[in-house]
Each structure stands twice: as structure tokens, then as C-alpha cells.
Structure 1
Amino acid sequence: MSSAAAIAHDPVHAARALVPRLRALSPRIERERRLPLEIVAELASTGFFALCVPRSLRGEEAHPTTLIRVVEELAIGDAAAAWCVMIGATSGLVAGWLDRAAAEEIFARAPEAVAGGVFTPNGRAVVVPGGYRVTGRWAFASGCQHCAWLMGGCLVEEDGVSRPLKHRIPDSRMLIFPAAEAHVHDTWRVVGLCGTGSHDIEVQDLFVPRERSVSLLTDRPRESGPLYQFPVFGLLATGVCAVALGLARAAIDEFARLARSKRPTGSARTLAERPAVQMDIARAEARISAARSYLLETVAGAYECAREHGEVTLALRARVRLAATHATLSAAKAVHQMYQAAGSTAIYEMSPLQRYFRDVHVVTQHRAVAPATLELAGRMLLGLDTDTSML
């Protein structure tokens, strides 16, 4: 059975069904700083890593709002697992650009294999007959220990100099190689999202065939579906914010459970009976619900534009990034509210709230949802000249 067939009934329902299991495994995932291989196998066999792989390659080619909702549900159970699914799923986008034979080798022959990597061009790809010799080290390679294939962004060199594109912009490409060819440096010792295993990966003078290289910025996609006309970095940003939204949902639910039973020292009332607490949880619920609705509406509109016109306008691309950043910041504020309202209970390791607090504040540090995206959207709304190259 294909991965797509495995979740054809309802991928969001399938993600929701995994929440109790992921929640129970969260302490282990954080302690081991990676996902257990049995969970990776379950996530893969369910088809989540194939959400962005073309149907022609036995993938799901899902609507972006489906990706958001799947990642959000998984994050309610465990944010690290959701993050790894998001990275694996969005990495599958490259299948829509790759040479057909290379795409089949990576994504179709073993559809449950996981791909991942880093877009940032921290590597060097020297042009040689038939391909490239690649050297580089990339940080933040989430899930690299369970991937079958890895990719790294590289600046292309030819005849000893950087190969320029139009307007003298350096040629930057993604180079894809078997994970076994890369060295993993144990660098992921962090305050939150500990279980993503986002270590550094490195290759030295590795030959990569030309067919396993792609530029998501300058190449035209081979696949014609609207998913492959949707802005790549916009899709990544929506996946990032989906993790934050799931964490906010988990924090509100956990606080509600706590508030119904906790009686602060010297008080005859539970937290839930305090008007200030009632307002806190109401504000948090409204905040994430509004941000989530804005996100889903904006993403759906951009996808419809891609379906109808074969591209997404710059204005819609900017709004997707704005909605993603707004949702992330709103989710972080909601988690902070719940953490603060819980009092000293939230500081203990046994409290999930302290983990949600740490995790969401790692999510907010991702460049895809950085405050600079608010500036970019604001400049466009004001009609000012704006660098839109990363939209």
C-alpha cells in the first residue's frame, strides 16, 4: 500500500489518534534527544512524511492546510515529533522539482524512507563531469539520525569561482545525498525541542550526481499541481507555526486540567474559580483561535490562487508569511499566559507546562517566523520597495 493510501481516509484524524502515545513518550524523546525509531517507523508508515510528495510518486500531495492541521495535532502530543514530521514532509517538496528518475530513487522506491536537510547554502558544490563535488557543514538538520536521505544548500563553483545567475546573484542549489554519506556532529544540546535531534551534518568532497541537485528558487517545478506553485518558504513557515499552535492548544488544555483541581496555598478556591484566571484562559483561547483562523484562511486563499493561476501573487505570499509569524507569536503568548497562571506548579519537571514553555520559545527563534517577516509584510502594505527574494 502506498503512503498516500495509508492516510487517505483522514490524515488529521490519524495524527489525532497518535496524540496519547506521543504524549506518553515525550519525556523519553526529550531525554534521548531524538525520536525513537519505532515512532519514526509509525509516522512514516502512516504517510506523514509523504504529505508533500507528488501523487505521481505515491505521495499525498496534500493541501497546505492539511499539513498545518496534521502538524498541529501531532504537536499537541509532542512538539519534537511534530517538528520532525514538518521537516520531513516539507523536504518532500523537492520531489516536485527533481529529475524524474532521481525523484523516484529517493521518494518512490521506498516511500516510507525519510528525507531531511537544510536549505541554507552553507556548502560548496564544485562542478565536475556528471555532477558536483560537495563539501559543507549544516546546522539545524532536524531528524538527521532517522533520515535515509539528506540535503544541503550549496553555492555552486565553476572554474574556481562562484557561478553567477541573473543580476550576478550566486547560483545556490540543494544537493541530495544518502544520509550514510554524512557525518553527524552531536551539537543539539538546547533548551527546547530537544527531541528533534537537530545536529550539524557534514560531508567532505562528496560526489553528487547532477540529477540530485535542484534550486527551488530558480528552477521550474516538474510537477504542475498547485502545491508546487505555492511559495516554498511560505509553506515552511506555516509548518513552523503549526507546531506553535499545537503547543498552545496543549498548554491551554493542560492548564484547564490543573486549574480545576489546584488550590493555591491559603485559598479555599481552586484556580478555576478565580475571575482573573477565567479571563486569562479566555484570552488565550481567543488569541490562538483567531490567529489559527487567519492562518488557515490566508493559506487557503494562496493555494486557490496557485490552482487558478499557476502562481501566487507577491501580496498573497507576504500575507502567508505575516499570518504564520502572527500565529507563532500569538501561540507563544498564549503558552506564556498559561505557564504564568499556573504558578509554581509549572516550574517542576513533572509539569508539561514547563516543556511547552521551553519548546514554543525555541519555535519563535526560527528565521521563517522571525520579526523581520512583519517588517517585510508591513513594507509591502505601505507600498514601499521591498526585497521579496525570500517570498
Structure 2
Amino acid sequence: MTHQVVRRVHELGPDIAALAEENEQLGRLSGETVALTRSAGVMRMLQPAKFGGHAAHPRDFAEAVMALASYDSAAGWVCGVAGVHPWEVAQLHPRLGEEIWGEDQDTWIASPYMPNGVAEPVDGGYSLSGRWPFSSGADHCEWDFLGALVGDGAGSPAAPPTVLHVILPRSDYEIIDDSWDVIGLSGTGSKDVVVQDAFVPTYRAVDQTDIMEGQSADRHGVTDTLYQLPFTAMFPLGITAAVIGICENALATHVAQQKDRVAVTGVQVRDDPYVLYATGEASAEIQASRVQLIDGISRLYDQIDAGRPVSLQDRSDVRRNQVRCAWRAVTALDGIFARSGGNVIRRSNPLQRLWRDAHAGLAHMIHVPGSTYHGNALTQMGFELPPQMRVLI
């Protein structure tokens, strides 16, 4: 059964789509887009029920993100990235959830997790400084998850490195307004954030390994199947879902434009077997990407729900397929883009924006295939993975 949030996205879809170009020009989501997105409830899909969230099956979250991205790339991307953050908060100290959602259950949380800062241990927590790029939707978020390396007491990372996820309120970081000038996903407003000597209490910090291995959830007595899923399956889920939704939008746009197009030869495109072949093939590939992405996270969910352990091989297979889903969908988009006619390169044609957005999404670190495919092949052969290769698996 289709989740109510997915149905709501489709109800609001035409209004959301009408604002996509404005978001592109603004370099961030417009206030109206944010209001519509909040109304749909996509960002609360994985949020705990006690804080007004849906605590939904991750399959439903992925479908909601795909639906939203099929109307506006930027809105879908922001929810695909930031929509996972409530899932992580659910596994942390209960005090944190009260701080974030106690007064407003529609409060959004940004990121990035890359360890670009240094967290120096101090009494009661850490002193954090650093600069982080790619904080998607930062203008509309009141908190930010940031990655940091534990310091050595002299401003440098300690050895061996320990990576933390820390979360700060809006008052503790600065958003750099002129830091987002890009060729794709412009409307996401994924700006840099800067922190200087901000105090982070211990309960707002967690060892990345604890999140990766589910130890934080266990420590705080969080036993729901949703919050037992691996971070390395959940974090990429929304991002890949957004890319697939963008490609679905591009396919629909291509089909609509080709219906009445006449080629330079005077032949109507609906009579051109080459364009039609490419369109049919792309449709199948994008659909396959959707199905495989949902299948992977659903199998992990069912496995955990049945009390069966999730192995490194299980995680690696899901990550391998998730990466492939993104590349398969964007490759299919490339095939129809090349057969959409010369007018596709006009800035007034939305298909060129969708093509740029999809490729920008493919550049995210979770879509880099090399180490993921490499690691999966090693796990299939029964070999141990080096620590640096296990991080994203």
C-alpha cells in the first residue's frame, strides 16, 4: 500500500514542480518549496513517532524521496540527505531528541559527515572547530550533523584517528552564503558551514563506529527494527533515491517532448525506431534501478526483523547494488538525452537541468564505485577487508 506521505507528495507535485526553476536561480530551496515539503512530511518519514514522525519502513522513505525528486531535484535531494538524520538522532541520547523537536517537530537537521573538523576533548565534551562543504538545505535547518576527528590537545587530530558525529544548533555555526556556485543541484543550497571553538556536550557526540555497528542504538535501548539497520545502508538510501527520482523526471520530460517532435529529416520521432528503442531501454533501466534499490533495503529490514544477523557480505551486496542503481539510472538518462534533439541544450529546456542535476548527484562520495565494487569482490572471495574499505560498507 502506498504510504500517505507518498500520496501527499503526488498531490502537491505540480505545485512543487512549478517552483523548481526558481530554486535553481535562488541557489537554495524557496520558502514556498520548503512549506510544501513540510506539508508533505517527507523529512519526518524516519523520525521517531514520539516526536511526531512516521517511523516508516525505509522502503516508504525511499519512495517518498523518489516521488519528491521526480517533481523537483533540489527538494528531493535535500530530503534524501537530511531525511536520514532523524533516523540517527533516534539512536542517540534521548535528551537530544527533546532539544531538537521538543518545541517544533518539523525542525530539520543538515549535515555533512565528512571529518573536516577537530574536536578537542574538554570537560563535559569537546571544543569543535572546522569548515565543512556540502551542507544541503542548510538555510532551512536549525541543527547540523558534522564529522570531526578527536584532537590531540594541540589542535591536530590524534593518532590513531577517531571519527565522531557531532550535532550543533544553528547558533553554533555560520553558513557561508557565497560558497555554493555549481553546475548541478543548484537549488539544494549545499553551502559551507564554519564552526569556531563551539562547545559540544558529550551527549551530542557519538563515535562513528558506534553508529556504523549499531552500538549506540543498543546503548540507549532502541530496539525498533528501523533503527537497527546499518548506517551504510540507510545513509546512501535517500541520496540514491533522489538520483533515481531525478532520472524518472527526466524520462517523463523526454517522453513528453518527443511525442510531437519532428526530426530534421521530416520524420516524426514517434516513427523513429532509434529514439523509441532508446526510450524503451531507458525506461526499463530506470525502473530496474528503483526496484533493486527498494529490494536491497527491504531484504535487510526483513532480515533484522526476523532476528537474523546482517553479515558484512549482506551489507556489501546492498551497497554494491545501491551504487549500481545510481549509475544505471544516470547512464539510461544519458542515452535519451543524446537522442532528445538539439533543443535539449537550451537553458529554457528543463531536461538539461535534470541532466546536470543527475550527474551532480552521481558525484557524491557514496556513488563512487571503485572501492565499493572492489570490497564486494573481496567479500565474495572470503577475504578480510582493510579498515579503510569497511568504512562505507
TM superposition score normalised by structure 2:
0.91
Q: Does the CA contact (< 8 Å) of 2:163 and 2:208 recur in 1? A: no
Amino acid at match of 2:167: I
Pair 1:173 & 2:164 matched: yes
CA distance in 2, matches of 1:254, 1:286: 16
Structure 1 residue 265, shift from structure 2 partner: 2.2
Local SS of the residue matching 1:206: strand
Pair 1:187 & 2:185 matched: no
CA distance in 2, matches of 1:81, 1:162: 37
Structure 1 window deviating more from structure 2 (56-65 vs 144-153): it is 56-65
CA distance in 1, matches of 2:309, 2:154: 36
Amino acid at match of 2:200: V
Structure 1 window deviating more from structure 2 (339-348 vs 222-231): it is 222-231
Map of 2:232 onto structure 1: 233
Structure 1 residue 382, shift from structure 2 partner: 2.9
CA distance in 2, matches of 1:78, 1:311: 38
Local SS of the residue matching 1:341: coil
Map of 2:143 onto structure 1: 149
Structure 1 residue 57, shift from structure 2 partner: 2.7
CA distance in 1, matches of 2:102, 2:312: 33
Q: How does 1:223-262 map to 2 (within 5 A)?
A: 223-262=222-261
Map of 2:90 onto structure 1: 96
Pair 1:205 & 2:197 matched: yes
Pair 1:67 & 2:61 matched: yes
Map of 1:384 onto structure 2: 383
Amino acid at match of 2:57: H
Structure 1 residue 289, shift from structure 2 partner: 1.5
Map of 2:318 onto structure 1: 320
Q: Does the CA contact (< 8 Å) of 1:121 and 1:172 recur in 2? A: yes
Amino acid at match of 2:164: R
Cα deviations by residue, 1:110-150 (Å, 9 ceiling, x for unpaired): 11111111111111111111221110111111111111111
Amino acid at match of 2:18: A
Q: How does 1:1-391 map to 2 (within 5 A)?
A: 10-157=4-151, 159-160=153-154, 169-185=160-176, 186-218=178-210, 219-221=215-217, 222=220, 223-267=222-266, 269-309=267-307, 311-372=309-370, 373-386=372-385, 387-391=389-393
CA distance in 1, matches of 2:244, 2:391: 27
Structure 1 residue 389, shift from structure 2 partner: 3.3
Q: Does the CA contact (< 8 Å) of 2:330 and 2:359 recur in 1? A: yes
Local SS of the residue matching 1:152: strand
CA distance in 2, matches of 1:216, 1:310: 23
Amino acid at match of 1:203: V
Cα deviations by residue, 1:220-276 (Å, 9 ceiling, x for unpaired): 213211222111122121211111211221121111111111102231x21121111
Structure 1 residue 325, shift from structure 2 partner: 0.8
Number of equivalenced pairs = 380
Which structure 2 segments of 5+ residues have no match?
Answer: none
Amino acid at match of 1:46: A
CA distance in 2, matches of 1:120, 1:108: 28
Identity %: 29
Which structure 1 segments of 5+ residues have no match?
Answer: 1-7
Amino acid at match of 1:64: P
Structure 1 window deviating more from structure 2 (154-163 vs 194-203): it is 154-163
